[in-house]
Amino acid sequence: MTTADLTIAEHRFKRPSIFQKVCAHEIAELSAEAWKAYRRSDFGGAIRLFEQIHGFDSENPGHLLGLMYGCYRMDNYVQAGEWAAKIVTHSKASVKQIAEANDVQGDINWQARKYETAQTFYQNVFDLHASHALDREAQAKLATLALESSTARIRIRQVLIDQKSRTYRMNLLHEVINEIPEWGLAFYLAGRQLHSDQKYAASNDCLVKAAAFGLPHRSLEIENTRLFALNLYHLRQYEQAISQFHRLAEDEVLPIGVALNAADWIKRCEWEKQKGEITQLRN
């Protein structure tokens, strides 16, 4: 039995009679166990837990989200799409939950080669503006679907929505860059992954090219600049990092959260720079 199965069995053994209601604390514990199962890739166990929770608390769309993602990762796209549709029409679903459901529906249709339907769902995601991350992913997916090259579309789809290894994703991106050497989005995606891999200098090499060739949306340009500045910070190039963060902090058009975050990083850079100068004086 998996950990999720043991949790279900234990809860059934302790289950109150039909005259007693399962308390919110028990549901929260089960939900935590379900997400733990999901994060360790025990998708079957996660689904079983989320189904049990949904039976106790059918009015909470958060449990539907777990069912949707669990089914999607199990390649049960029909069921995942059905859960996604229920989230979109759920009266208590948040904007972010609705956006995530639209995103999954877009992914399902893209894999089924229903490109126009996928584009509609991704546009819905962007129009909701539920988060900067979802906005960026929607624009990246829309830009990829607009490519003329079918091989490039397939490769970037695998990068964006398939469960591929980091090495395999980088190989796919290099193949796309070789095919379309002036497409900025491929360089941005490569730079983003290299940043995540803590390969900061190599990441900035890609991000510079992404900026030079251009990106399909302002949201991606902003993130490109932010990642470039973060890489400079990690490379201890504080003056250059401050200059890049100032571009974000002083841009009056940007969301206030992005500007404030950039201002915080400027302070960090200044502090690290001062520490370095003091250390040099002492030596």
- Distant-in-sequence contacts of 4-12, Cβ < 8 A, 24+ apart: 4/33, 4/34, 4/37, 4/42, 4/44, 4/45, 4/46, 4/48, 4/49, 5/45, 5/48, 7/33, 7/49, 8/48, 8/49, 8/52, 11/52
CA–CA distance, 271 with 22 (Å, rounded to integer): 51
Q: Quick one: pLDDT at residue 209? A: 98
Contact in structure between 33 and 49 (CB atoms under 8 Å): yes
Largest CA distance in the chain: 75
Q: Quick one: pLDDT at residue 278? A: 73
DSSP codes joined into one string, 226-265? HHHHHHHHHTT-HHHHHHHHHHHHT-TTS-HHHHHHHHHH
Letter for the amino acid at 229?
A
Task: Please report where in the chains the tokens 């990083």 appear, as a residue.
Answer: 265
CA 248 to chain centre: 22
Per-residue tens of pLDDT for the chain, all 283 residues: 555 554 544 544 444 444 345 677 888 889 999 999 999 999 999 999 999 999 888 888 999 999 999 999 999 999 999 999 999 999 999 999 999 999 999 999 999 999 999 999 999 999 999 999 999 999 999 999 999 999 999 999 999 998 889 999 999 999 999 999 999 999 999 999 999 999 999 999 999 999 999 999 999 999 999 999 999 999 999 999 999 999 999 998 898 999 999 999 999 999 999 987 776 666 6
CATH fold group of domain 1-93: 1.25.40
Contacts of 183 (CB under 8 A, 6+ apart): 147, 152, 176, 177, 213
Q: Quick one: pLDDT at residue 25? A: 82
Q: Quick one: pLDDT at residue 283? A: 60
Q: Quick one: pLDDT at residue 164? A: 85
Helix extents (H) in 40-197: 43-56, 61-73, 77-88, 95-111, 115-128, 132-145, 150-161, 166-179, 184-196
Ordered by start, the domain boundaries in the chain are: 1-93
What are 119's two structure tokens? 């584009």
Q: Quick one: pLDDT at residue 23? A: 75
What are 267's two structure tokens? 């302070």
Neighbours of 43 (CB within 10 A): 19
CA–CA distance, 221 with 193 (Å, rounded to integer): 16
